[in-house]
Chains A and B, each alone.
Chain A
Amino acid sequence: MIVELGHFCVVIACLLACLQVVLPSIGLKQNNAQLMASASSLAYGVFVFTLLGFLALIHAFVTDDFSVEYVANHSNTRLPLQFKVSALWSAHEGSFLLWTLVMSIWTMMVARFSAPLTTDMRARVLICLAALGVGFYLFLLLTSNPFERALPFYPAEGADLNPLLQDFGLIVHPPLLYMGYVGLSVPFAFAIASLWGNTLDVSWARWSRPWTNLAWAFLTMGITLGSWWAYYELGWGGWWFWDAVENASFVPWLIATALIHSLAATEKRGVFKSWTVLLAIFGFSFSLLGAFLVRSGVLTSVHAFAVDPERGAAILMFLVPVIGGSLLLYSARAWDLRSRVTFKRSGRESFILGNNVLLTVSAAVVLLGTLYPLGFEALTGGDKISIGPPYFNAVFVPLMLALMALMILSHRSRWWATARSLLTASQGVFSAIALVAAVGLSLVMGPIKFWILGVAWLAAMILLNLGYELYRRVRRKSNRISRLLTQPLAVYAMVLGHAGIAVTALGIVTTVMLSEEADLYMAPGDRAQVGAYEVRFYGTNSVQGPNYVADQGRVEVSRAGELITTLFPEKRRYLASQSIMTEADIHVRSLGDIYVALGEPLENGAWAVRVHIKPLVRFIWFGGVLIALGGVISIFDRRYRVPRARASRKTSLAPRLEPANG
């Protein structure tokens, strides 16, 4: 009964979302403020009913109601409680319900925090969000209903959750990722609403910024967690595979990163307006495209998401009008958007332009590599190909190195123009310090490698220039320390974000260059040397978990005769599904991980044992966390809290400077 009520609640949410499109639209036409304002209250209604539907399905999972097909397919009575809850979003139908819930949360948040907007603008933004919502609800209800019953013959026991997903990662990764994916609909809606109302002024950019930053921070966190999860859970020791599904989240991230920078330029200086709108449209379009790629099964991926061409077609039917319509609206209105603001080559605008070029090109080449197999198959009449990671590395790495080089100087830049002396001050000293730091790091980590030296130098230069910028801000003040602590949050956000990039880059290059990886045949008592470490295998014991049995190996790792750690990797057999899963054991140290996983049992108690030494691998995710933290902090900046009653007048006051000659 509760399940039917839940289903009914989602239907009501869909109807309310329809109303949220229709009523304020009539209001706009008749200039009826009351009807326009209804959009906000309806947003709350949509959220409440979606939440009720969501809770109903959670109830079905927790109470093991296997008459619901989706529950029967993805849960089991022996599943621990936290995984019963997270099993809800472990497959297509339920995860799409989560998607709609996240959509309703964002819409409600926009309704809650947009009171200072004009009534028109607010109504338009909420109409756009609600229209997207209607599409998602229809898709959920018509093609992917998680509330469907399997009556009258339903199983007494559930098929169980895929063991790979019985993990903390599943609890946090999809919700965060969806907050990011769906959150990009907010800057999209702001852009469309502004095009629609022809009110694309500077206040639009100012309004979009905190939303974009927040969505981007969620996306960053979601991708970072996904990488960490893959690393410790899949048992391969890899942290990024250039897999189609990973790329599907990475392309929107690259575009969103470009967007948060170009929004800054548009807000502060009124430049790149139409480009920024285009990025806002593409950011969300690519997150929809990602959803299509992931769920339609058109691409081969290590992620097995409900593969159903029919659903793919349905998403495509949604995708085409959304992207096509937006671009049509854009092309009709973009002509009016030409800004007359100029800037010099040395201005911060130029650096942001460079950032945008590099990021969009990166997004384009990643997208090309991801979609190429599809195009190839279509053109050759069915030949299946895959594009290997070497392609992505070859095209992506140089672009990122260029981006890091650009980032070094960007911290010195000022809007409109930057004095040459400011760009170059102390750079010689900094280069020397960075070189010493890079060589020092290389020596600590092992053999000197050119790539580590180069990237470490770039990272050190970024950090030094960030430090210099902070120092410059307080240099002339008497109370430097307290000044340093009271800088605008936006400054800290930028520092954290950029420092995060440096940290992640350092982690990536060191892990890639210096990892030691060995697949070993080991009988009990065998020893082997992996890099600087000696590994000794002591055989396996049987152990029992709540819903699995496992062979647990004992592996001692020592260095120069000194025991560092004893690891207990497991090979688990989950009882309900009888599926086998590798549970790696990882020893975490400041300079890197020691990663041990069991392969398969061989004759006479011997096992295949996988041993990885991964220097600085944690830096990759630590940097990601710093970046996301930067995004979150930025939205609490004072500037976004002051009442913006006069914001709309700002356009006429937009600075007009003399044309540049360069």
Chain B
Amino acid sequence: MKFGAMKPQRRNRLLLVLGLLAGVGLALTFVLKALNSNINLFYTPVQVIDGEVPIGARVRAGGMVEAGSIRRSEGSLEVAFTVSDLAGAAFEIRYIGILPDLFREGQGVVATGALSQDGVFFAEEILAKHDEKYMPPEVAMALDATKLEALQP
């Protein structure tokens, strides 16, 4: 049937459906675009030192805070510490601000921020576990991965 020959009611309905489809398509494009530009990938210490992390991109990385590695600068809130996977891979995180209550040596942390050219991770946000028993799944993964790698020569 030709478009012009349709009953007005049918034509209206067709236009409505087409309009809805276009609207949904447009909305979906926007949503997916917003989604894609806000994905923060997680990297393990091994991936960080192997150079898998794109320099300057907003990513997340984490592991265990190494004992004795926390250094503060005097007169400011700047802090630097080393995060490792307990199997040799480690990298430095720098952060300016207040650390979470459960941040301490030997605890798992996840940092959001960007890796600089010289391999230092500048964090905008540090998440520590918030409960004595809880381990962030990312940290658990970071550790498991190394154990797996340690098993395979």
Give the B-binding residues of A (Cβ under 8 A): 162, 164, 235, 297, 300, 302, 304, 307, 361, 365, 368-369, 372, 376, 382-388, 390-391, 394-395, 519-521, 577, 579-582, 597, 599-600, 602-603, 608, 610, 661-662
Name the CB-closest residue of B to A306.
B133
Residue B68 CB within 8 A of the other chain:
no
Contacting A at CB under 8 A, from B25-49, are 27, 30-31, 34-35, 37-42
For A662, what are the chain B residues with a Cβ–Cβ distance below 8 Å? Answer: 12
Whether the Cβ atoms of B98 and A385 lie closer than 8 Å is no
Distance of A162 Cα from B96 Cα, bound (Å) = 27
Known contacts A162-B131, A521-B75: A300-B34 contact under CB 8 Å: no
Q: In the assembled complex, how far is the CB of residue A46 from the closest CB belonging to chain B, in whole angstroms? A: 33
Pick the residue among B9, B74, B102 that contacts A603 (CB under 8 A): B74
Residue B132 CB within 8 A of the other chain:
yes
Known contacts A162-B131, A520-B77, A603-B74: A387-B39 contact under CB 8 Å: yes
Whether the Cβ atoms of B35 and A391 lie closer than 8 Å is yes
Distance of A164 Cα from B128 Cα, bound (Å) = 14
Residue B71 CB within 8 A of the other chain:
no
Distance of A582 Cα from B98 Cα, bound (Å) = 11
Pick the residue among A376, A388, A602 that contacts B38 (CB under 8 A): A388
Whether the Cβ atoms of A235 and B101 lie closer than 8 Å is yes
Whether the Cβ atoms of B77 and A599 lie closer than 8 Å is yes
Known contacts A304-B134, A521-B75, A608-B77: A600-B34 contact under CB 8 Å: no
Supply 4 further A-B pairs (C-beta < 8 A) apart from A385-B40, A386-B60, A603-B72: A369-B35, A384-B137, A519-B98, A577-B132
Residue B97 CB within 8 A of the other chain:
yes
Known contacts A519-B77, A521-B77, A580-B102: A388-B130 contact under CB 8 Å: no
Name the CB-closest residue of B to A163.
B101
Whether the Cβ atoms of A297 and B42 lie closer than 8 Å is no
Distance of A646 Cα from B90 Cα, bound (Å) = 75
Residue B92 CB within 8 A of the other chain:
no
Whether the Cβ atoms of B42 and A383 lie closer than 8 Å is yes
Residue B119 CB within 8 A of the other chain:
no
Known contacts A386-B40, A391-B38, A521-B75: A579-B98 contact under CB 8 Å: no
Whether the Cβ atoms of B130 and A304 lie closer than 8 Å is yes
Total number of B residues with any Cβ neighbor in A under 8 Å:
39
Whether the Cβ atoms of B42 and A521 lie closer than 8 Å is no
For B99, what are the chain A residues with a Cβ–Cβ distance below 8 Å? Answer: 599-600
Whether the Cβ atoms of B39 and A304 lie closer than 8 Å is no
Contact with A along B57-74 (1 / 0, CB 8 A): 010100000000000101
For A579, what are the chain B residues with a Cβ–Cβ distance below 8 Å? Answer: 101-102, 132
Whether the Cβ atoms of B77 and A376 lie closer than 8 Å is no
Most buried by B among A297, A365, A385, A386: A386
Most buried by A among B9, B12, B102, B132: B132
For B131, what are the chain A residues with a Cβ–Cβ distance below 8 Å? Answer: 162, 304
For A302, what are the chain B residues with a Cβ–Cβ distance below 8 Å? Answer: 127, 130
Name the CB-closest residue of B to A162.
B131
Q: In the assembled complex, how far is the CB of residue A652 from the closest CB belonging to chain B, in whole angstroms? A: 27
Distance of A610 Cα from B40 Cα, bound (Å) = 27
Name the CB-closest residue of A to B131.
A304
For A376, what are the chain B residues with a Cβ–Cβ distance below 8 Å? Answer: 39
Q: In the assembled complex, how far is the CB of residue B78 from the closest CB belonging to chain A, in whole angstroms? A: 9
Most buried by A among B9, B42, B99, B127: B42
Whether the Cβ atoms of A387 and B132 lie closer than 8 Å is no
Q: In the assembled complex, how far is the CB of residue B144 from the closest CB belonging to chain A, in whole angstroms? A: 10
Contacting A at CB under 8 A, from B89-145, are 96-99, 101-102, 112, 127, 129-134, 136-138, 141
Q: In the assembled complex, how far is the CB of residue B135 from the closest CB belonging to chain A, in whole angstroms? A: 9
Distance of A21 Cα from B134 Cα, bound (Å) = 39
Residue B76 CB within 8 A of the other chain:
yes
Whether the Cβ atoms of B38 and A390 lie closer than 8 Å is yes
Name the CB-closest residue of B to A610.
B98
For B101, what are the chain A residues with a Cβ–Cβ distance below 8 Å? Answer: 235, 579-582
Most buried by A among B8, B34, B98: B98
Whether the Cβ atoms of A391 and B137 lie closer than 8 Å is no
Whether the Cβ atoms of A385 and B41 lie closer than 8 Å is yes
Most buried by A among B42, B101, B127: B101
Name the CB-closest residue of B to A578.
B132
Q: In the assembled complex, how far is the CB of residue B57 from the closest CB belonging to chain A, in whole angstroms? A: 12
For B30, what are the chain A residues with a Cβ–Cβ distance below 8 Å? Answer: 395
Distance of A178 Cα from B138 Cα, bound (Å) = 29
Whether the Cβ atoms of B35 and A368 lie closer than 8 Å is yes
Known contacts A387-B38, A608-B98, A610-B98: A382-B141 contact under CB 8 Å: yes
Distance of A304 Cα from B9 Cα, bound (Å) = 55
For A582, what are the chain B residues with a Cβ–Cβ distance below 8 Å? Answer: 101
Distance of A575 Cα from B74 Cα, bound (Å) = 30
Whether the Cβ atoms of B136 and A300 lie closer than 8 Å is yes
Most buried by A among B34, B60, B132, B141: B34
Known contacts A361-B27, A368-B31: A304-B133 contact under CB 8 Å: yes
Q: In the assembled complex, how far is the CB of residue A289 from the closest CB belonging to chain B, in whole angstroms? A: 19
Pick the residue among B40, B97, B112, B133 that contacts A519 (CB under 8 A): B97
Distance of A272 Cα from B129 Cα, bound (Å) = 46
Whether the Cβ atoms of A307 and B27 lie closer than 8 Å is no
Whether the Cβ atoms of A365 and B137 lie closer than 8 Å is no
Q: In the assembled complex, how far is the CB of residue A161 from the closest CB belonging to chain B, in whole angstroms? A: 11
28 pairs, CB–CB < 8 Å, chain A vs chain B: A164-B130, A235-B101, A297-B137, A300-B136, A300-B137, A304-B134, A376-B39, A383-B41, A383-B42, A384-B41, A384-B137, A385-B40, A386-B40, A386-B42, A387-B39, A388-B38, A388-B58, A388-B112, A390-B34, A390-B38, A391-B35, A395-B31, A519-B97, A520-B77, A521-B76, A579-B101, A610-B98, A662-B12
